[in-house]
Amino acid sequence: MTALFDITDHYVSRTSGASLRGLVEHVTALQLPVVRPEPAAPTEQVMVLSAHAALGHEWDLVVIAGLQDGLWPNTVPRGGVLGTQRLLDELDGVTKDASMRAPLLAEERRLLVTAMGRARRRLLVTAVDSDAGGGGHEAVLPSAFFFEIAQWADGDGEPVAMQPVSAPRVLSAAAVVGRLRVVVCAPACAVDDADRDCAATQLARLAKAGVPGADPSEWHGLAPVSTSDPLCDSDDLVTLTPSTLQALNDCPLRWLAERHGGTNTRELPSAVGSVLHALFAEPGRSESQLLAELDRVWGHLPFGAQWYSANELARHRAMIQAFVQWRAQSRSELTEVGVEVDIDGALEDGSGQARKIRLRGRADRLERDPAGRLVIVDIKTGKTPVSKDDAQQHAQLAMYQLAVAEGLVRAGDEPGGARLVYVGKSGAAGVAERKQDPLTPAARDEWRNLVRQLAAATAGPQFIARRNDGCTHCPLRPGCPAHVRGSAP
């Protein structure tokens, strides 16, 4: 392609009235490659190159900029997703206990020495040494290599110890507002009153001009609470679903955000999961029929890449096969009562008076055990099953069992437990299952009280941010008060 551009440039510059047809005929008739024009005479310029690209060149002055800690040396293990470096170490007989950082550090040191060797007469190495300050930014420190170079410098040229250079502030609206706010909000002994008054005056001017962040009413922690009214009245009907109960039990703040539009219901995984659950709900369909139906609808899903679509199709075909296998193996202990069974009704208190709490949901499968009790089965397509202990306290399963005990399922009122069936996690023994024991009368009372508490929590006006296993994938995590700058749970 580059050669074609060179030929085109050569043809246009030497042919008057050049046309596309003429260019095609010219290229077709060529037998010898066109000689590129001689490069122009070198002019004064600065070459900006990486250390690797500078190999084989020399200059009178070389500047190595940004010798910062964490950037150079870069001791992040190489090899990418495939881990090629670990594979090479394994082939070379390197033990797993050997340090991975030492060879990387030596390689980075050799690269730096090579870059320093590009200078004929003068070498300048720069680094930034800055603390975190009051702007919330992380500290920037020089690399350990920087201090080694300073230690071994002979001092024949410029003095080794130079006065620090203060970089100019970024001239942007956000930076100016931030600096003014730091002065205004500083402690009494930190700044002069005149400076504080001047900063306040400038902030007022910026706020009047509509600059974001200049108006104190927009500052976090200074504005009063907008309202202390609950989201609903005490006599309003509260509708809870099993998934809602689980979300409220895990983190009320996340439930609030997702309840009011803080989630993307059109995400591809959600659409794929809906397709898979619809296929699981087909009673009596064979494995070949379910796979054929999956193949038919798969092309309508909005996958961005063909390879990803093919991988996901293979994975979801395996889920269908695992589900069919589980369905066949579980017939010795379970009898199918229904699929996609609706649950809807009011939760009553001990006096028999209906409280204004409505339980509504849809169970993936309703089975009956040999004792005639109803067993709720919830099909999960995730790859990571919950622990056995967490399954015993799983709020979603408990609410299904409570609904059965309250007579909200027409097929019976005696719960025989509940199960989570992970079709995305299967092995030689079949799919992974997590069971919840049948609710005892005491456990039913505990879950009834919890449902009432969570129903009251939906009114607010305060919602707790609670850490849980779902924090890793929570969209609110960057601004969650339960986490400090997105730190790990």
Does 168 have pLDDT greater than 50?
Answer: yes
Amino acid residing at 349: D
- Paired tokens of 282: 């087909």
CATH 3.90.320 boundaries in the chain: 238-472
483 three-state secondary structure: coil
In Å, what is the CA distance from 417 to each residue of 8, 24, 121, 218, 369? 77, 78, 81, 51, 9
Q: What's residue 134's pLDDT? A: 41
Cα radius of gyration rounded to whole Å, the chain: 34
Q: What is the DSSP string of 368-411?
A: E-TTS-EEEEEEE--SSPPPHHHHHT-HHHHHHHHHHHTT-STT
**What is d(CA 114, CA 141) in angstroms, rounded to the nearest whole number?**
23
More confident residue, 97 or 178: 178
Q: Which residue has the tokens 């994975």?
A: 315
Q: What's residue 7's pLDDT? A: 80
By CB atoms closer than 10 A (0-12, 13-18, 19+), residue 481 is exposed
Question: Within a 10 A sphere around the Cβ of 209, how many other Cβ atoms?
Answer: 9
CB 329 within 8 A of CB 423: no
By CB atoms closer than 10 A (0-12, 13-18, 19+), residue 361 is buried
**What is d(CA 487, CA 489) in angstroms, rounded to the nearest whole number?**
7
**What is d(CA 436, CA 390) in angstroms, rounded to the nearest whole number?**
9
Average the pLDDT over each of 8-22, 272-286, 392-406, 433-447 and give the range with the smallest value: 8-22
pLDDT range class, residue 488, cuts 50, 70, 90: very low
pLDDT range class, residue 266, cuts 50, 70, 90: low
Average the pLDDT over each of 74-83, 85-94, 102-111 and give the range with the smallest value: 74-83
Q: Quick one: average pLDDT of 160-179?
A: 68
Percent of the chain with pLDDT over 70: 82
**Residue-wise over 311-347: b if at least 16 C-beta within 10 A, else e?**
ebbeebbebbebbbebbeebeeebeebbbebebeeeb
CB 303 within 8 A of CB 376: no
- Paired tokens of 28: 């077709």
- Paired tokens of 483: 């986490």
CB 358 within 8 A of CB 240: yes
By CB atoms closer than 10 A (0-12, 13-18, 19+), residue 249 is buried
CB 423 within 8 A of CB 442: no
Q: What's residue 147's pLDDT? A: 83
Does 96 have pLDDT greater than 70?
Answer: no
Q: Mark out the alpha helices in 93-232 (DSSP H runs).
A: 101-116, 144-152, 173-184, 193-208
The rounded mean pLDDT for the chain is 80
In Å, what is the CA distance from 459 to each residue of 45, 250, 251? 67, 17, 14
- Paired tokens of 102: 């030492």
- Residue 130 DSSP symbol: B
CATH 3.30.160.800 boundaries in the chain: 59-152
CA atoms within 13 A on the CB side of 178: 12
240 three-state secondary structure: strand
Percent of the chain with pLDDT over 90: 12
pLDDT range class, residue 129, cuts 50, 70, 90: confident
- Paired tokens of 209: 């001009």
Q: What's residue 455's pLDDT? A: 86
* Parallel/antiparallel/unpaired status of strands 119-125 and 59-64: parallel
**What is d(CA 144, CA 149) in angstroms, rounded to the nearest whole number?**
9
Q: Quick one: average pLDDT of 327-356?
A: 78
Amino acid residing at 249: N
Sign of the dihedral through C-alpha 206, 208, 212, 213? positive
Q: What is the CATH number of domain 59-152?
A: 3.30.160.800
Q: What's residue 4's pLDDT? A: 77
More confident residue, 167 or 216: 216
- Tens of pLDDT, residue by residue over 405-416, are 888 887 777 889
Q: What is the CATH number of domain 238-472?
A: 3.90.320
Q: What's residue 203's pLDDT? A: 93
- Tens of pLDDT, residue by residue over 366-407, are 999 998 899 999 998 887 888 888 899 898 899 889 888 888
**What is d(CA 481, CA 486) in angstroms, rounded to the nearest whole number?**
9
* Parallel/antiparallel/unpaired status of strands 354-368 and 335-348: antiparallel
Average the pLDDT over each of 97-101, 302-306, 427-431 and give the range with the smallest value: 97-101
pLDDT range class, residue 200, cuts 50, 70, 90: very high
Does 82 have pLDDT greater than 70?
Answer: no
Q: Report phi then psi at 206, rounded to 5.
A: -65, -40
Max avg pLDDT among 20-24, 31-35, 262-266, 323-327: 323-327
